[in-house]
Amino acid sequence: ETGVTQTPRHLVMGMTNKKSLKCEQHLGHNAMYWYKQSAKKPLELMFVYSLEERVENNSVPSRFSPECPNSSHLFLHLHTLQPEDSALYLCASSQDWTSGAKNIQYFGAGTRLSVL
């Protein structure tokens, strides 16, 4: 148990659906992250939030919309996805988003997303 919980663990959706991924951390951290992990590709950092403000957005398509209502919760809203968006989506949190050892990231188990 890493202290970061992601729901759901598995999600199957059609290209016209709207769904949301949820992440909750119980570690008192100030920074939260979304990553995309596809087969045979490196981990892709999607979004970084620090104290509920977005500090990094790595050219992610607008069909992915993050929301951070407070420092413990992070959502990823999905709409009109494509089959190539099928992947494992990982959430992580850290004490701070920079500054060496304070950036040790704790990961959730991920949501396995399949887009049909």
Partner 1 sequence: GDSVTQMEGPVTLSEEAFLTINCTYTATGYPSLFWYVQYPGEGLQLLLKATKADDKGSNKGFEATYRKETTSFHLEKGSVQVSDSAVYFCALISGNTPLVFGKGTRLSVIA
Which spans of this chain sit near partner 1 (rule: CB under 8 A)? 2, 4, 6, 33, 42-43, 45, 48, 56, 90, 92, 97-101, 103-110
CB 1, min distance to partner 1, A: 11
CB 80, min distance to partner 1, A: 27
Q: What share of the chain is helix, strand, coil (3-state, %, to 5)?
A: 5, 55, 40
Question: Which lies closer to partner 1 via its Cβ, residue 64 or residue 97?
Answer: 97
CB 105, min distance to partner 1, A: 6
Rounded to an integer, what is the distance from CA 21 to the centroid of its chain? Answer: 8
CA distance 75 to 36: 14
Listing DSSP states for 6-28 in one string gives EE-SEEEE-TT-EEEEEEEE-S-
Question: Which lies closer to partner 1 via its Cβ, residue 5 or residue 80?
Answer: 5
